[in-house]
Amino acid sequence: MKLFRKVLIANRGEIALRIIRACHELGIRTAVVYSEIDKNTLPVRLADEAICIGPASAAQSYLNIPAIISAAEITDAEAIHPGYGFLAENYHFVEACAASNITFIGPSAENIRIGGDKSMARQIMKKNNIQVVPGSDKPVVNEKGAFKVAKKIGFPLILKASAGGGGKGMRIVKREEDLDKMYHMAQKEAFAAFGNGDLYIEKYISDMRHIEVQILADNRGGMVHLGERDCSIQRRHQKLLEEAPFNYGDVTFRKKIGALAIKAARAFGYRNAGTIEFILDRDGQIYFMEINTRIQVEHPVTEMVTGIDIVKAQITLAAGRPLSFRQKDVSFNGYSIECRINAEDPEKFIPSPGTVSLFVPPGGAGVRTDTAAYSGWTVPAHYDSLIAKVIVHGKDREEAVMKMKRALREFIIDGIKSTIPFFIDLLDDPDFLKGDINTHFLERKNKKK
């Protein structure tokens, strides 16, 4: 029996193409939605069908739930893959799919609702004896509540938006006298961004590493982890480079953090593909941070070291199939690094949309480029500026770094600015080469200049 006859892809760019490829390898027909400005794009060309759902503005196209449900009905698609961003973590969309008898390729609406409520997710972890950073058990109701928690955990602390992620509504508070002001600033920012000003508090962990674990879960309680990724190289809360495995980890570390991730995912009753994010502090303590209920941009590094196609797995699991392998069947081979190439000024990190006059992605052994760009394509200013992901695989970190350097040097993107020069510089940094990185690596590197 076929998994699905046809899948609708409710996304654009490289991830839409990634999903089209997975579907076609599974013998599933594809329909893709697109906005007016995305008419001349590769996903539109390569899917079996394409449906225009509105103008360039995401609110009127890729976020337009009725238009997307209609597109699925018109094309007779049985399932929708949301990709990442846009509607991927909108549980109302999952409910709208269910109401129209369309399978949502992803976790349950409840998984997504809880995953989007960061303070609630924290509480669930605490109840299940999974270590979280000391902090508030619930969103704090006012500055008085914030002071109460601060008395208990001390300074520095960090205020985070319950509805957040991505750094909006986040503030580090170093001293008691700053708390009142920072609380109100973070709350205002969170409300403006999410329509919800709830804040929770954590003790601030300095020099943390961001380590996350990929999970796959079927609908019958079967669950495996696909190992960890180090996503510590970020700038303004945007991940820029990810690697797998964690360079300073070993088999014991992977077993420990993998088991922890499985325990966390079980506590959520998790289904399909997901990621458990952890904070790793300088003493090696592991704390739960968040659960991500979508396919992530950086999923290819895990695919490279495990040989498992995570998007195909998502589709198979959403069709109700059980996992076809067990934890002991998951093996880890070599080292992988991903660089996110953005259409941005590499020094100022401001968007650089425009027409790509020449586009020649790198290739060769152990190099994968996930992109929907081509020579003559115009990068629209309406969406995020990711235009390509270069992913390499080598026998160890050193080989992967060398491979990435040579791949980025041969990558031709003319007509617009890209972040390639930034990565070529980063890959020569002595501390990066030692693997001595954390989430503040780039801020410090910038100061040194």
Residue 166 Cβ vs ligand MV4, minimum distance, rounded to whole Å: 7
Give the position of tokens 């070993």: 250
Residue 153 Cβ vs ligand MV4, minimum distance, rounded to whole Å: 10
C-beta closer to ligand MV4: residue 93 or 183? 183
Q: Which stretch binds ligand MV4 (CB under 6 A): 58-66, 166-174, 292-300, 422-430?
A: 166-174
- The DSSP-derived string for 25-78 is HTT-EEEEEEEGGGTTSHHHHHSSEEEEEE-SSGGGTTT-HHHHHHHHHHHT-S
What separation in angstroms does the CA of 421 have from each of 98, 360, 406? 45, 16, 12
Among 172, 259, 360, 412, binds ligand MV4 (CB under 6 A): 172
Residue 239 Cβ vs ligand MV4, minimum distance, rounded to whole Å: 8
Among 56, 120, 170, 193, binds ligand MV4 (CB under 6 A): 170
Residue 234 Cβ vs ligand MV4, minimum distance, rounded to whole Å: 6
Instruction: Based on the residue annotation, tell me whether 5 is a catalytic residue of this protein.
Output: no
Query: What tokens does 179 get?
Result: 């708390």
Query: What tokens does 350 get?
Result: 């401001």
Strand-by-strand arrangement of the 367-371 sheet: 286-292, 272-280, 209-217, 223-235, 238-244, 335-342, 386-394, 367-371
Among 158, 291, 315, 408, binds ligand MV4 (CB under 6 A): 158
Interface with ligand MV4 includes 8 (CB under 6 A)? no
By CB under 6 A, the residues from 209 to 248 that bind ligand MV4 are 234, 237
By CB under 6 A, the residues from 265 to 304 that bind ligand MV4 are 279
C-beta closer to ligand MV4: residue 42 or 161? 161
193 neighbors 204 (Cβ within 8 angstroms): no
C-beta closer to ligand MV4: residue 92 or 174? 174
Q: State how far the Cα of 225 lies from the Cα of 222, in Å rounded to an integer.
A: 11
Q: Could you say which of 18, 122, 294, 340 is catalytic?
A: 294
| CB contact burial 217-226 (16+ within 10 A = b; e otherwise) | bbeeebbbbb
Q: State how far the Cα of 440 lies from the Cα of 158, in Å rounded to an integer.
A: 15
Give the SS3 label for residue 357.
Answer: coil
Residue 169 Cβ vs ligand MV4, minimum distance, rounded to whole Å: 11
Site size toward ligand MV4 (CB under 6 A) is: 14
Residues counted in the chain: 449
User: Based on the number of CB atoms within 10 Å of its own CB, is 251 exposed (0-12), middle (13-18) or buried (19 or more)?
Assistant: exposed
Q: Is the preceding peptide bond at 245 cis, omega within 30 degrees of 0?
A: yes
Residue 202 Cβ vs ligand MV4, minimum distance, rounded to whole Å: 4
Among 55, 145, 167, 222, binds ligand MV4 (CB under 6 A): 167
By CB under 6 A, the residues from 184 to 213 that bind ligand MV4 are 202, 204-205, 208
C-beta closer to ligand MV4: residue 37 or 153? 153
Residue 189 Cβ vs ligand MV4, minimum distance, rounded to whole Å: 12
Q: Is the preceding peptide bond at 82 cis, omega within 30 degrees of 0?
A: no
C-beta closer to ligand MV4: residue 78 or 228? 228
Query: What tokens does 433 get?
Result: 């080469």
C-beta closer to ligand MV4: residue 164 or 394? 164
By CB under 6 A, the residues from 76 to 135 that bind ligand MV4 are 133
For the annotated catalytic residues, the residue numbers are 294
Interface residues toward ligand MV4, by CB under 6 A: 133, 158, 167, 170, 172, 202, 204-205, 208, 234, 237, 279, 439-440
